[in-house]
Chains A and B, each alone.
Chain A
Amino acid sequence: MPRRTTSVGRCMAQVAMVMNLDKCIGCHTCSVTCKQTWTNRQGTEYAWFNNVETRPGQGYPRGHEDQDKWKGGWRLDGRGRLVPRSGGRARRLARLFANPELPSLDDYYEPWTYDYETLISAPLGEDLPTARPRSLIDGRPTAVTWGPNWDDDLGGGPEHLAGDPVLRRMNDQVALEYEQAFMFYLPRICEHCLNPSCVAVCPSGALYKRIEDGIVLVDQDRCRGWRMCVSGCPYKKVYFNHSTGKAEKCTLCYPRIEAGEPTVCSETCVGRLRYLGVLLYDADKAGEAAAVPDERDLYEAQLDCFLDPDDPEVVRAAEESGIPHDWITAARHSPVRDLITRYRVALPLHPEYRTLPMVWYVPPLSPVVDALTRSGHDGEDPANLFGAIDTLRIPLDYLAGLFTAGDPAPVEAALCRLAAMRAHMRRINLGEERNPDIARGVGMDEHSIEAMYRLLALAKYEERYVIPTGYAVDADRDADPGDGCSLEGHGGPGMYDADAFHAPPVAAAGAPKGGLRDRINLLNWNGRGRPQGLFPPRGDEGGNR
């Protein structure tokens, strides 16, 4: 990273994520562990804080990248100033009660379940019992016609996949045919943007970006359920809980992050492709960066916001902002920073939304050699490799449509570095001499290409996740620490009121009786107390024993 010459503005710290799509196997473990942990509750059945999309595909909710339709993110107005695409405040206020840019349940999907009970309780009949599908919304029998992952693994056929907004915006026609088939997976969570449009459009001020780590959250008390955030978020990563009437979204697992633990989606990622780390950035520059006129400059502009934690001036600014030493150290060891700014292999998702997203992606490399050898070249020769990156099975323009507002150059550069790493390491693997030209060819040296290899290939746990534990912003550093155990204060952990100690368990809230709602299933459990039916009945209720 080049040393800064201009003075540093307000230095902020952000816990950011990089996903290496080149390693993603599309297994959806992240989606399932996230859903199990956070959203298998009534009101959020349809919500997936983390989902994985097969690309090309329409994604979830359907066609969410079509901002002509959904009006998410920011745009520049006639005077070159940032305004929410959904319009100015007045326009938004005018639409509070009828927001046409809100995805419907059909765009997400209508969650369903099955008549599972019939499998064991069916009376003697004519045929085998089967559990037919039922809507989880109204309890009526339903036919499954759409889901959160409908086009998984290219399901749906070319006609359906042609509805992919990124594909539609490409200049070249892409053939969706057997021989030319290509796909990759795109796991998505909230981007925890530097310039979050969801926060900007909330009429109640319920959305906020935490100062200490940049996590964007919904204050469950302030939220009034206007749902402007749902349409305002161009990534469609804010959801409306139809049971509580409030917005919910990915929390970056802050109870874990605060404890120095990776998010659930990261730690459970069996592809080992997620990285979490601290980035320091200049908050005063973010607005300017988000407003650069040419959307193809947004990637570089955002890079320019990031601060070098080895720069003494940055360190001073960070300390001034109350960022603890451990966080600055973490920023120095940040794998996310390495992938984004040092090796420049990670790219932002849809920078053209101008939200300055903070979950970045290493684009998928493969397969290259196939295309090369078809054209009669030796795919193992690095010289050929770089010349042919644009013959990738995955069209470069498609990736550029996702990561660089259509500019293929940064994508190509990232892929070349990955390809060079493979070529460099293959020589070592086969016991041949290193060839420094390979690294030089992509603007790196042997040491850095091997360090990048270490981070991408070995990806040891403590190098993937460099997360300092949480700190309190503006904590009074001179306060009297007291003379006892930190747990001993009134209301501290383990300090119970006499009454509360013997209180009966809290009953599950909000589970109406009868029909599907009464069934025993974690979907309608709010995480508190002992919901009815989860346990064997006590005493005689159990019957025959």
Chain B
Amino acid sequence: MVVRRGTRKEAERVAAVAAEQLLRIGTSLRTSPTTPDLRAVYRTDQSVNDTPYRERWAHDRVVRSTHGVNCTGSCSWKVYVKDGVITWETQETDYPSVGPDRPEYEPRGCPRGASFSWYTYSPTRVRYPHARGVLLELYREARQRLGDPVAAWAEITGDPDKRLRYQSARGKGGLVRIGWDEALEIAAAAHVHTIAAYGPDRVAGFSPIPAMSMASHAVGARFMSLIGAPMVSFYDWYADLPIASPQVFGDQTDVPESGDWWDAAYLMLWGSNVPVTRTPDAHWMAEARYRGQKVVVVSPDYADATKFADEWLHPHPGTDGAVAMAMGHVILTECFVRRQVPYFVEYVKQFTDLPFLVELDERDGAFVPGKFVTAATLGLEEDDAAAAAWKPVLLDAASGRPVVPHGTLGDRWSKGGLGRWNLDLDGIEPALTFHEAGGTGLPVLMPRFDTPDAVRCGVPVREIGGRKVTTVFDLLLAQYGVARPGLPGDWPADYDDDARPYTPAWQETITSVPAGAVVRAAREFAHTAEQTRGRCMIVMGAGTNHWFHSDTIYRSFLTLLLLTGCQGVNGGGWAHYVGQEKVRPYAGWQQLQSAADWVRPSRQVAGTPYWYLHTDQWRYDGQDTGTLAAPTGGGTFAGRHAADLVAQSMRLGWMPAAPAFTANPLDLGRRVHESGHEPGEWAAAELAAGRLAFACEDPDDPANWPRVLTVWRANLIGSSAKGNEFFLRHLLGASDNARAEEAPDAGRPRDLAWHDEAPRGKLDLLLALDFRMTSTTLMADLVLPAATWYEKHDLSSTDMHPYVHAFSPAINPPWQARTDFEVFHGLATRFSELAIGRLDTAYDLVATPSQHDTPGETAQPGGTPRDWRDGAPPEPGRNLPVFTVVERDYPAVAAKLAAFGPLAEEHGMTVKGITVHPAPEARWLAERCGTVDDGPARGRPRLDTDVKMCEAILALSGTTNGRLAAEGFERLAERCGPGSGFASLAESVRERRVVFSDTQNRPVQVGSSFEWSGKEAPDRRYAPFTVNTEHRKPWHTLTGRQHFYLDHDWMAELGEQLPVYRPPLDQAAVQGSGPVEDDARSVTVRYLTPHSKWSIHSEYQENLLMQTLARGGPVIWMSVADAEAIGVADNDWIEAVNPNGVVTARAVVSHRMPAGTVFMHHVQERLVNVPRTQATGRRGGVHNALTRLLIKPTHLIGGYGQLSFAPNYYGPTGNQRDAVTVIRRRTQHVEY
């Protein structure tokens, strides 16, 4: 029927009039009142059914817990339980108050955390122990035939065919369910066999970010430490460690809590997308703007944070350092040369190394910056010759003489330094510069990396002790191209000079950021700092930190903060939040996780060189490290492979090695023990005689492979494995998509053995504990079902806020899941049983590198390597590791794991060079936890439940136990002298005490402690280095000040003695070759892997709620221009290919992306919606399929002040930002 529109309308009108009349009649029949216009009727006579929603909301109980995920949230959550089922979660709001005039913490949280309960009953939950079917079959057969678990494991792993069978099945399904007893037996047998056959340093544990669940981390690490297995570091490996922090501050990372953003008057968000990656904290940034804070965002894309910005600077990715150098140029010019801002000048004189003296070395008719001038160089303070080498000097303007100020490293460890390790200038007036009116200077070559040649700039010089000497400040001005009258050299004419570094115009040619914007930002930054005495803050994130040269980028940022007196000030300074979660109760966690209460030292290994060697990524690395050197370098690295430098670093005792030697350390220990020699003396002699060899020089020899790896609280393979396809190929022996070619003959290491056939499948056992399936559990041989964060007791803290709080079980672990605590105790029990008669008591030769914050950091005066292989005498602790023989009672491992050992009381607990003795705490723990009746731990306090473990962590830490904090401050007072004020600080914290039940009730604020550099109090927010600025405590560096200048030989070689701009790596040169076709239908782009809005690394990434709010599977964000160039529309399937691997994903096309750059958000795993690739026909790779490890030589330095190893403190970063890839549209038909 066709109705004419007009007719229909008319019909409707008539009907409406009729209906309205009906309504009026209805109204008159009812008693309910209506509005005068009959729009609404008020009825109270009808009942309504709203019970479904009331019932839905009803619940039995609410349990407080948190999320032990690798984020910095540490938010407190209410977990709702109904009929014994976890239903959902919302945030707690009962945090300690931030202050009356500030926004509070509540209600911290994010959408990821809000979706966590989904995992509890999700189909990806691991409910039972599983084993790789092929392996299990082999094991059961051998076990039955041989009647012995250890013999069975030995046979399977010793038989090349059997190895191949189960290793090549890794990652291809075929997991079968087994019982707990059998699972633990296999795992224990593997550990026992490996220790006996190869040594405990062929076993390893990987579990990152202890703060996110301290007890769960500590229990496993404690087990590893008791058996002598190394724990692999994570912070440097993740590339989250800002290497600049140890370099500049001598501290791993210490940053303001997010509440301190509120105190800032000027906030730069530099490569940090706060709303996405610091979701619970972002409100501070939004709210502080209302207080008049100015916000500047520096980001290549229109990032989420940009919405809040007053200004958005968008340099090309990886060129942020150039922006910062230009800002530094402006600040130096306007605040130090044209005018001297009193606050700035006063600050840098007292708290930085700018006034210290540096010798100039002659080179090619000019000069290059050399070493710090020390008391030893000048023959001052000859009474303590050893310490004199660690006492840099400055010029006292009053007397005109070089003097040793208080507080240098020479005062930290020497007897003579007692009471002198402080920043009191004691009447000295440090001379910042030698420049004077009418004066001149000498030409110095300063490196630059945007052109091949160095820049020649003059610095004012004095002759002191027959040496040509200048100040760090004078060198800094030369480096930044800031001219002063009378100095020779090739200086920029003005800010508009774009040919010479580091002018605003120069940076524009590199970054595309308008010069005027940089000048303005620099001026505003400096003026605000001057006006507020340092309340300018830079929130710096992974966008600037995950680069190969991130240390130079960061040092150029830190320069801005140090020059303007922003560091060690509330509301000022650096705010680096990249994977940094602070274990606030540090001392207790540290003691227990390393089992230092039973055995010392533990084995700790730096992650990046470990994986670099053991996944054979070094074989594909064809780069001559000499190409990284500066034009001012001496050619030290020419022709040397990064693996050569790794090996040198290990043999000099800079970086730790696992395994250390080609022999089993239990055999070596036994020989040392039998010889009656000192271990160091014995090892040095054996090395010199060539009878002892470092394993790092032949990592592909089966004797030197890592054999057993346990991963818990982590997803190593899916998340952090840079060079993922090489992990699959060489470490695991699984299938892979890598197509890179090995380095040609000429590009191979000189000092490492080269096996023509690279090993595949080094690892005998990959053991994974998890509550969900990940790339790691897919690859694992044994998968153990772990309790979730709503199913156990634990502790959480972070750097973003100053409190600790508890995990609590809302339900017990369902199905056959167990807490990590239970799993490791079960493993230890079985291990101890199997150790009887096989391992018994053994002597283990442990090689430890020279460590930061110990006297070992004074191993190599002057920062010049003296390699024993080149003829220098081998000396343990000088140019060799330190050697210790540790007695291990293997059958007693389980008993010791479950009790607090005696060594903490006997030898104290040392944190950052301060030793405290927890005798009262040991007594308290004995009363609180009870003591062990019998066996190896008889009489010791019990640590046999997770609650007791948490209790011990809190009792043994200064932040949660004021008595220990006070003791630590008293020790500091002795070293720093009575003027430090530490005695009164000790009194202010002494009575504070936090026990576990406090943290279960609600988040509890911690107190100030010697463990950290900032002060805690209810009336102030945590800011780092306030202890240093307010108590004049030295930084843990060579000069005791914050360093602009680093004089180690290797730093000079790379031209990085001072902040400098280094561009992203030229991937064409370093990526190596492979069959990657680049054609008209493809684009080559920078491949960045920033953190995702819908996951925390791999966690939540496959969560259905998150996938629904995102795009339902892996995506790559690309610009409109790049998409158009290759004919890609939004949501089209694309492929990213480079020699390292293949990623297949869908495109998200957006104009927020700059052309030439794509984002593949970190970690989009293989687990969900990843089809087979067009390039290889195999499953597409994870985000790290396109990356490969590259080692920066300067990260390998050790034994030199702040440039010394400590776990997660100093070591090469596993950076991945410099990657590039080819992108093309793929067939839209996908197969899974």
Given known pairs A88-B19, A89-B15, A154-B302, the reply for A183 and B39 (CB within 8 Å) is no
Asked if A120 contacts B111 (CB within 8 A), the reply is no
Asked if A536 contacts B815 (CB within 8 A), the reply is yes
Q: Which of A129, A288, A430, A456 contacts B290 (CB 8 A)?
A: A456
In the assembled complex, the CB of B338 is this many whole angstroms from the nearest CB of chain A, namely 21
Q: Is the C-beta of B854 less than 8 angstroms from some C-beta in chain A?
A: no
Q: Is the C-beta of B275 less than 8 angstroms from some C-beta in chain A?
A: yes
Task: Report the nearest B residue to A179, measured CB to CB.
Answer: B314
Q: Which of B56, B133, B308, B532 contacts A367 (CB 8 A)?
A: B308
Task: Report the nearest A residue to B130, measured CB to CB.
Answer: A120
Asked if B177 contacts A544 (CB within 8 A), the reply is yes
Asked if B1178 contacts A152 (CB within 8 A), the reply is no
**Contact partners of B102 in chain A: CB under 8 A:** 458
Q: With A and B bound together, what is the CA distance between A36 and B778 in angstroms?
A: 29
Q: With A and B bound together, what is the CA distance between A400 and B132 in angstroms?
A: 61
Q: Is the C-beta of B1109 less than 8 angstroms from some C-beta in chain A?
A: yes
Q: With A and B bound together, what is the CA distance between A126 and B1169 in angstroms?
A: 17
Q: Is the C-beta of A177 less than 8 angstroms from some C-beta in chain B?
A: yes
Q: Is the C-beta of B768 less than 8 angstroms from some C-beta in chain A?
A: no
In the assembled complex, the CB of B810 is this many whole angstroms from the nearest CB of chain A, namely 14
**Contact partners of A150 in chain B: CB under 8 A:** 1111
Q: With A and B bound together, what is the CA distance between A144 and B107 in angstroms?
A: 33
Given known pairs A26-B304, A221-B48, A536-B815, the reply for A287 and B173 (CB within 8 Å) is no
Asked if A91 contacts B173 (CB within 8 A), the reply is no
Asked if A112 contacts B1112 (CB within 8 A), the reply is yes
Q: Is the C-beta of B1174 less than 8 angstroms from some C-beta in chain A?
A: no
Q: Which of B124, B286, B816, B1113 is packed against the most chain A CB atoms within 10 Å?
A: B286
Asked if A157 contacts B107 (CB within 8 A), the reply is no
**How many residues on B have C-beta within 8 angstroms of the other chain's C-beta atoms?**
149
Q: Which of B78-86, B457-465, B645-653 contacts A (4 or more CB under 8 A)?
A: B78-86
In the assembled complex, the CB of B109 is this many whole angstroms from the nearest CB of chain A, namely 5
Given known pairs A144-B1169, A369-B311, A461-B106, the reply for A124 and B12 (CB within 8 Å) is no
Asked if B123 contacts A117 (CB within 8 A), the reply is yes
Q: Mark A131-152, 1 if CB is under 8 A from B, else 0.
A: 1110000000000110111101
Q: Is the C-beta of A127 less than 8 angstroms from some C-beta in chain B?
A: yes
Q: Is the C-beta of A116 less than 8 angstroms from some C-beta in chain B?
A: yes
Asked if B57 contacts A426 (CB within 8 A), the reply is no
Task: Report the nearest B residue to A212, measured CB to CB.
Answer: B44
In the assembled complex, the CB of B460 is this many whole angstroms from the nearest CB of chain A, namely 36
**Contact partners of B1119 in chain A: CB under 8 A:** 178
Asked if B109 contacts A116 (CB within 8 A), the reply is no
Q: Is the C-beta of B365 less than 8 angstroms from some C-beta in chain A?
A: no
Q: With A and B bound together, what is the CA distance between A271 and B50 in angstroms?
A: 31
Interface positions, chain B 10-39, Cβ under 8 Å from A, are 11-16, 18-19, 33, 35-37, 39
In the assembled complex, the CB of A7 is this many whole angstroms from the nearest CB of chain B, namely 13
In the assembled complex, the CB of A194 is this many whole angstroms from the nearest CB of chain B, namely 9
In the assembled complex, the CB of B104 is this many whole angstroms from the nearest CB of chain A, namely 7
Task: Report the nearest B residue to A425, measured CB to CB.
Answer: B292
Task: Report the nearest A residue to B16, measured CB to CB.
Answer: A88
Q: With A and B bound together, what is the CA distance between A456 and B110 in angstroms?
A: 21
**How many residues on A have C-beta within 8 angstroms of the other chain's C-beta atoms?**
145
Q: Is the C-beta of B1105 less than 8 angstroms from some C-beta in chain A?
A: yes
Q: Is the C-beta of B114 less than 8 angstroms from some C-beta in chain A?
A: yes
Interface positions, chain A 82-129, Cβ under 8 Å from B, are 82-83, 87-91, 111-114, 116-129
Q: With A and B bound together, what is the CA distance between A534 and B14 in angstroms?
A: 57
Asked if A270 contacts B1108 (CB within 8 A), the reply is no
Asked if B124 contacts A33 (CB within 8 A), the reply is no
Task: Report the nearest B residue to A78, measured CB to CB.
Answer: B13
Q: Is the C-beta of A284 less than 8 angstroms from some C-beta in chain B?
A: yes
Q: Is the C-beta of A188 less than 8 angstroms from some C-beta in chain B?
A: no
**Contact partners of A460 in chain B: CB under 8 A:** 103-104
Task: Report the nearest B residue to A36, measured CB to CB.
Answer: B88
Q: Is the C-beta of A38 less than 8 angstroms from some C-beta in chain B?
A: yes
**Contact partners of A149 in chain B: CB under 8 A:** 1108-1110
**Contact partners of B49 in chain A: CB under 8 A:** 219-222
Q: With A and B bound together, what is the CA distance between A457 and B261 in angstroms?
A: 13
Q: With A and B bound together, what is the CA distance between A87 and B1107 in angstroms?
A: 39
Asked if B121 contacts A35 (CB within 8 A), the reply is no
Q: Which of B108, B302, B1179 contacts A183 (CB 8 A)?
A: B302
Q: Is the C-beta of B850 less than 8 angstroms from some C-beta in chain A?
A: no
Interface positions, chain A 420-468, Cβ under 8 Å from B, are 421-431, 453, 456-461
**Contact partners of B528 in chain A: CB under 8 A:** 430
Asked if B311 contacts A367 (CB within 8 A), the reply is yes
Task: Report the nearest A residue to B735, measured CB to CB.
Answer: A127
Asked if A153 contacts B304 (CB within 8 A), the reply is yes
Q: Which of A31, A426, A534 contacts B85 (CB 8 A)?
A: A534
Q: With A and B bound together, what is the CA distance between A494 and B20 in angstroms?
A: 48
**Contact partners of B177 in chain A: CB under 8 A:** 543-544
**Contact partners of A23 in chain B: CB under 8 A:** 283, 286-287
Q: Is the C-beta of A1 less than 8 angstroms from some C-beta in chain B?
A: no
Q: Is the C-beta of A317 less than 8 angstroms from some C-beta in chain B?
A: no
Asked if B103 contacts A458 (CB within 8 A), the reply is yes
Asked if B39 contacts A286 (CB within 8 A), the reply is yes
Q: Which of A113, A121, A148, A473 contacts B1109 (CB 8 A)?
A: A148
Asked if A208 contacts B48 (CB within 8 A), the reply is yes
Q: With A and B bound together, what is the CA distance between A128 and B12 in angstroms?
A: 62
Q: Which of B40, B280, B1167 contacts A270 (CB 8 A)?
A: B280
Q: Is the C-beta of B1001 less than 8 angstroms from some C-beta in chain A?
A: no
Asked if A132 contacts B123 (CB within 8 A), the reply is no
Given known pairs A36-B88, A90-B19, A131-B1168, the reply for A28 and B1109 (CB within 8 Å) is yes
Q: Is the C-beta of A489 less than 8 angstroms from some C-beta in chain B?
A: no
Given known pairs A270-B109, A458-B101, the reply for A520 and B123 (CB within 8 Å) is yes
Asked if A364 contacts B307 (CB within 8 A), the reply is yes
Asked if B83 contacts A29 (CB within 8 A), the reply is no
Q: Which of B37, B83, B117, B134 contacts A288 (CB 8 A)?
A: B37
Interface residues of B (CB under 8 A from A): 11-16, 18-19, 33, 35-37, 39-40, 42-44, 48-50, 52-58, 82-85, 87-91, 93, 101-104, 106-111, 113-115, 117-118, 121-124, 126-128, 130, 133-134, 169, 171-175, 177-180, 265, 274-276, 279-280, 282-283, 286-295, 302, 304, 306-312, 517, 520, 524, 528, 531-532, 735, 773, 777-778, 783, 814-816, 1093, 1102, 1104-1105, 1107-1113, 1117, 1119-1120, 1123, 1129-1131, 1148-1155, 1166-1172, 1178-1179, 1232
Further pairs besides A123-B173, A534-B121: 5, Cβ < 8 Å:
A90-B11, A114-B1104, A116-B122, A123-B174, A211-B44
Pairs across A and B, CB under 8 Å, 11 listed = A83-B16, A91-B16, A127-B735, A131-B1102, A177-B1151, A284-B35, A457-B291, A459-B103, A521-B122, A522-B121, A529-B83
Q: Report the 4 A-B pairs with minimum CB-CB distance, sorted nearest first.
A: A426-B292, A90-B15, A124-B174, A88-B16
Interface residues of A (CB under 8 A from B): 9-10, 22-23, 25-29, 31-33, 35-38, 40, 82-83, 87-91, 111-114, 116-133, 144-145, 147-150, 152-158, 160, 176-178, 181-185, 195, 208-209, 211, 217, 219-222, 251, 253-256, 264, 267-273, 283-284, 286-288, 364, 366-370, 373, 379-380, 418, 421-431, 453, 456-461, 473-474, 505, 519-523, 525, 527-531, 533-536, 542-545
